[in-house]
């Protein structure tokens, strides 16, 4: 379903507004004022989907896998490929079996099963939008920062449009820093964003049967919540905070996971600047993480109508 733009006038009639103020009003007022256009219908569906995602999180504690779902759909983006959807990115392609079977996506079929009823209920919401909405909502509901999301992404329509395997980061490459830069620079992200996004490992667990990494269970995971087992990066692995950076730096608990791509954040001279900062300053981490997550969620996305400029012409914003 097409999503009409919210223009400089904001979401209601009246005198023209400064574009920055219009952007703020759009995000604040969509949840309050009824819209009679197709934009209103789209906003209503997105709000409904977001509320259902919140309920899903409360009943299943699936925050980590929903974050991963959004990341892995967007993280296939290649800035060097101009043509959509060959460039990959946030286009809903991860719903197709061929991409779900990529090695890095092991287990994500479970995330798709969890949110498919929400997609069926709110059919006007694209998979591309739903994946990113679910990911951002999971971060926020786990205590993380509010992420400035926009919506109106277009879905690919066939499995032939899925990206090739091998675009997502590996956990234990021979040269972790070089590998992280190769993957994330290809997406158009920088060192600060690499480190900030790595902080999302404060949520979730690694399971050896899926990734080949982690213990079968630890004192933090043997009783769940959710399915028991796996090894987490932090002791409170359903709480979004800066403990990932503190724990990676200290490395005092053998029951907490440290992958080569985690350890390198305090070993590489450029990465270390940000990792040290985030270990000390959670507010700084939250600010940088929110910006990086929002940027990631838009990589390779095609918007309907086109996202010409996030200030002058913006797709639906939902809060």
For residue 43, the SS3 value is helix
Q: Which residues are catalytic?
A: 72
* pLDDT by residue, tens only, the chain of 319 residues: 433 332 222 333 333 333 333 333 333 333 333 443 566 788 999 999 999 999 999 999 999 999 999 999 999 999 999 999 999 999 999 999 999 999 999 999 999 999 999 999 999 999 999 999 999 999 999 999 999 999 999 999 999 999 999 999 988 899 999 999 999 999 999 999 999 999 999 999 999 988 889 999 999 999 988 889 999 999 999 999 999 999 999 999 999 999 999 999 999 999 999 999 999 999 999 999 999 999 999 999 999 877 543 333 344 555 5
Distance separating alpha carbons of residues 91 and 87, to the nearest angstrom: 10
Torsions phi, psi for 47 (to 5 deg): -65, -40
Q: How confident is the model at residue 5, as a pLDDT?
A: 32
How many residues are listed for the chain in this entry?
319
Nearest CA-CA partner of 277 in 192, 180, 204, 203: 192
Q: Look at residue 134 in the predicted model and tell me its pLDDT.
A: 98
219 burial (CB, 10 Å; 0-12 / 13-18 / 19+) is exposed
C-alpha–C-alpha distance, residues 235 and 219, integer Å: 9
DSSP 8-state secondary structure symbol assigned to residue 311: T
244 φ/ψ angles, rounded to the nearest 5 degrees: -55, -45
Q: Where are the domains of the chain?
A: 38-298
Q: Which CATH class is domain 38-298?
A: mainly alpha
């Amino acid at each position: 379903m097409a999503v009409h733009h919210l223009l400089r006038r904001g979401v209601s009639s009246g005198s023209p507004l400064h574009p920055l103020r219009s952007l703020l009003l759009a995000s604040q007022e969509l949840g309050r004022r009824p819209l009679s256009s197709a934009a209103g219908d789209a906003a209503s569906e997105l709000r409904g989907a977001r509320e259902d995602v919140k309920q899903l999180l409360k009943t299943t504690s699936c925050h980590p896998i929903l974050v991963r779902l959004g990341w892995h759909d967007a993280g296939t983006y290649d800035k060097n490929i101009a043509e959509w959807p060959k460039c990959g990115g946030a286009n809903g392609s991860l719903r197709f079996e061929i991409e779900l079977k990529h090695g890095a996506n092991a287990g994500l079929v479970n995330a798709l099963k969890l949110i498919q009823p929400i997609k069926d209920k709110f059919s006007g919401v694209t998979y591309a939008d739903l994946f990113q909405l679910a990911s951002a909502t999971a971060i926020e509901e786990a205590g993380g920062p509010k992420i400035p999301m926009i919506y109106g992404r277009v879905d690919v329509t066939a499995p032939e449009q899925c990206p090739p395997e091998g675009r997502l980061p590996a956990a234990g490459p021979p040269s972790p820093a070089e590998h992280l830069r190769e993957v994330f620079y290809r997406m158009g992200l920088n060192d600060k964003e690499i480190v900030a996004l790595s902080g999302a490992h404060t949520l979730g667990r690694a399971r050896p049967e899926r990734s080949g990494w982690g213990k079968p269970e630890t004192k933090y995971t043997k009783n769940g919540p959710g399915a028991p087992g796996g090894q987490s990066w932090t002791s409170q692995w359903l709480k979004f905070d800066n403990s990932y950076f503190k724990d990676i730096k200290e490395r005092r608990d053998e029951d907490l996971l440290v992958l080569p791509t985690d350890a390198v954040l305090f070993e590489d001279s450029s990465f270390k600047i940000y990792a040290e900062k985030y270990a000390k300053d959670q507010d700084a981490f939250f600010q940088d993480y929110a910006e990086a997550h929002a940027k990631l969620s838009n990589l390779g996305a095609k918007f309907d109508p086109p996202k010409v400029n996030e200030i002058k012409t913006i797709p639906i914003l939902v809060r």
